[in-house]
Chain A
Amino acid sequence: MAIADTDRLPPATSDKAKTKTKPQKPRSNIRLYDHIVLAIGVFIMMGPLVVAFLTSTHDYVTIHREGMQITWGGNFLETYKNVLYQKGGFTGEVTGLLMTQNSLILGIGFAVGKIVVSMLAAYAIVYFRFPFATLSFWIIFTTLLLPLEVRILPSYEVVQQLGMLNSYSGLIIPLIASATGTFFFRQFFKSIPNEMIEAARIDGAGPVQFFWDILVPLSKTMIAAIFIIMFVVGWNQYLWPTLMTTEEGYFTLVRGIRNIMQQMIGADIPEYNEALAMAVLAMLPPALVIMIFQRMFIKGLVEQEK
C-alpha cells in the first residue's frame, strides 16, 4: 500500500470492478443467468427480513389467525411505540428505548475500548525493541485461540468475584480480551513504509510525537473501519450479556430478545408483532451503519484476512 503517496480513501472496490469487467465482451445469456442467480439470492437474503418487518406492522390476532404477512398492516406506530416506551419485563422497568441505549453503550464502548487498547499494544509490538516483545506477542496471540464461548463459565465466575456483574464495565471489558484488534493494527502498522518513522526520527519526533503526529492520523481510515466492525460485533453480543446482566436495567436489545422469546412461550396468543418489532429494532442500527459506511466496512473486514 502506497501510504506515502496518498492519504485519500482507497479506491472503491465497486469502481474498480466496473472498469475491470468492461473490457470483457458481454454475452447476454451469461448476464441473464447472473441476474437470475442474484435476484434469487436477494429474495432469500432479504425476503425473511421484509416479511418480518411487514408482519410486525399487523396486530397479533391477525398474525395468529392468518400467519406471517406480506402486506403493510395498520399497527406500525402503535406496536413500535409500545415496544419503545412501554415498560415491560419482570420488574416493569425496562423499555425498548432503554435497551437501545444499553446496546449503544455496549457497541460504542466495546469498539472504542478495543481500538484504544489494541492500538497501544500494536504500537509497542511493531515500533519498539524490548526484551519481552516476542513473549508479549505470543501471549496476545493465544487469546485468538479460545473464543469467549468455550471459557464462558469461569469468565462468569471471575467477573462475579470482581463484583462486576450488572455493570457496563463488566459487560464491555471482558469482551476486549480477545486480540483481534491488536493483530489488525499490527498488520496495518507493518504496512506503513519504514521511511515514515525514519523521516520522523530525523525530524526529531520521539515515540509519543510519532504516535500522535504521524501514526494516528495515518490510521484514520483503519480506525474508522475497525470501529464499524467492532460496533456491530459489540451490538450483536448475546451470550455474555445474557449471563452478565440479570438486572433488566442493563439489558441490551439483543439480550432482550431472549426474554421476549421466553414470555411468548407462556402466552396463549404470543405477541408476535412486538417480538418482531424488537427484532427489527435490534437489527436496524448495525445494518444502517454497515450500509452507510459500506466501503470502509468491507475494507476493514477484508484487511483482517491479511
Chain B
Amino acid sequence: MEKAQFQSRWMPYLLLAPQMVIIAIFFIWPAAEAIRASFFLEDPFFGNSTFVGLQNYTDALSASDYKRTAWFTVVFTVLVSLLSLALGMMLAVSADRVLRGQSTYKTLLMWVYAIAPPVAGLIGVMLFDQHIGPLVDFAAMFGWHLQIGVDYWDTGFAMIVVSTWKQVPYCFIFFLSGLQSIPTSVKEASAIDCQSETRRFWTITFPLLAPTTFFLLILNITYAMFETFGTIDQIVKDQPGNSPVTLVYKVFRDGFRGNDIGGSSAQSVILMIFVLLLTIVQFRLIERRIHYT
C-alpha cells in the first residue's frame, strides 16, 4: 500500500534543497566536467584546450601501459573479491556454530573493519619490508624471496594480501548476520532431513546465503576497484617504478602527476561506464529479490 502523504506546495523542495545543491555542485558539475574534458586536449601551461573527439579514449585504451594496468586491475579485483568472500564466509559459518566465546571472536574479527585502507597499507608495507618485515622472512623459509617494490608480481601479491585482509571483516559481518537471520525452524528442519553437516551447508545454508553473497560480491568489486586506493598508494609510495597499480590509481597519477587531464578524464569516464554496468547488474538482483520475498 502506498504511504500516506502530506501535501505542500513548497515544503518538499525546501527539504530537498540541501541535498540537491550539494549534488549539483559537487557531483553533477564535476561529472559533466569529466565527460567534457575527456573530449579535449588541454594544455596545462597555457590553459587553452582543443577538441580532439575520441582521441583521448583511443590513446588511453591503446597504450600498453593502460592494458597492463587494466589486466592487473582485473586480477587484483577478482582475487580480492573472491578471497575475502570465501574467508569471510568460512569464519562466519564457524562463528555461527560455536556457543562459547562467540562475541569475543566476533569483536576480534571485526576490528580491522575500522582501519583506513592507507593505514592497512602502511602496516602491510612494514610487514613486507625488506629489512624488518617478518612476512619476508616467513616467505624466505619456503625459498620465496619476496621483493616488494622491485618485483612486479611480488608487489601485486602484497597489495592483494593487504586489501583482502582489510575486507574480510566486512564480509564476515554480513555473512554472520545472514546466517543468524535464517529461521531456527529451517535450521531444525534441515537437521532432521539431513545428517551430514557439510551437505546441509551446501544444500540449505549456502543457497539461503546467496542474496547476501551476491550483494557482497558487488560491494567487494567496488571496494577492490576504488577504495583500495589508499592501500596501493602506501605500497607504491609515490614511486611507481615497476609497481602494479589499479585503474583508479592511474587516473589519479595521470591527472595530478602527469597533468594529462584529457587522458585522465577519458579513463574516468571509462570507469564510470563500468560502474554503471555494475549497478545495472545490482538492480537486476534487487528486482529479483523483491519477486522472491
| Given A48-B127, A158-B25, CB of A145 within 8 Å of CB of B114 | no
Residue of B nearest to A205 (CB): B6
CB-based nearest A residue for B197:
A30
Evaluate contact between B132 and A64: CB separation under 8 angstroms: yes
Chain A residue contacts of B3, Cβ below 8 A: 126-127, 190, 194, 197
When distances are taken between beta carbons in the complex, the residues of chain B under 8 Å from A153 are: 34, 37, 251-252, 255-256, 261, 264-265, 268
**A interface SS class:** helix
**A155–B23 Cα gap in the complex (Å)?**
11
A201 located at the interface, meaning its Cβ lies under 8 Å from any Cβ of chain B in the complex: yes
Interface size on B, residues (CB 8 A): 104
Report the separation of the CA atoms of residues A11 and B174 in the bound assembly, to the nearest whole angstrom.
17
Question: How many A residues touch the partner, as a band?
Answer: 35 or more
Q: Are A143 and B27 in contact (CB under 8 A)?
A: yes
Minimum C-beta distance from B279 to chain A (A) = 5
Contact with B along A202-234 (1 / 0, CB 8 A): 000011001000000000000000000000100
**Residue B99 interfacial (CB < 8 Å):** yes
| Chain A proximity mask over B22-54: 1 for CB below 8 Å, otherwise 0 | 110111111101100100000000000000000
Q: Which residues of B contact A125 (CB under 8 A)?
A: 16
Assembly CA distance A207 to B271 (angstroms): 41
What sequence of 0s and 1s flags, for each residue 193-235 of chain B, a beta carbon within 8 Å of any chain A beta carbon? Answer: 0000100000000000000100100000010001101100110
- One of B27, B109, B229 near A239 (C-beta < 8 A): B229
Q: List 6 A-B contacts (CB under 8 A).
A: A37-B94, A68-B127, A117-B19, A150-B271, A153-B251, A207-B11
Other contacts beyond A42-B105, A42-B108, A67-B131: 13, CB < 8 A: A37-B91, A125-B16, A128-B5, A147-B227, A149-B229, A150-B271, A173-B26, A239-B230, A243-B256, A254-B230, A257-B118, A258-B118, A286-B114
Which A residues have a C-beta under 8 Å from some C-beta of B? 13-14, 16-24, 26-27, 30-31, 33-35, 37-38, 41-42, 44-46, 48-49, 51-52, 55, 63-64, 66-68, 116-118, 120-121, 123-130, 132-133, 136, 139-140, 142-147, 149-155, 157-159, 162, 173-174, 176-179, 182, 190, 194, 197-198, 201, 206-207, 210, 232, 235-239, 242-243, 254, 257-258, 260-262, 265, 272, 275-276, 279, 282-283, 286-287, 289-291, 294, 298, 301-302, 305
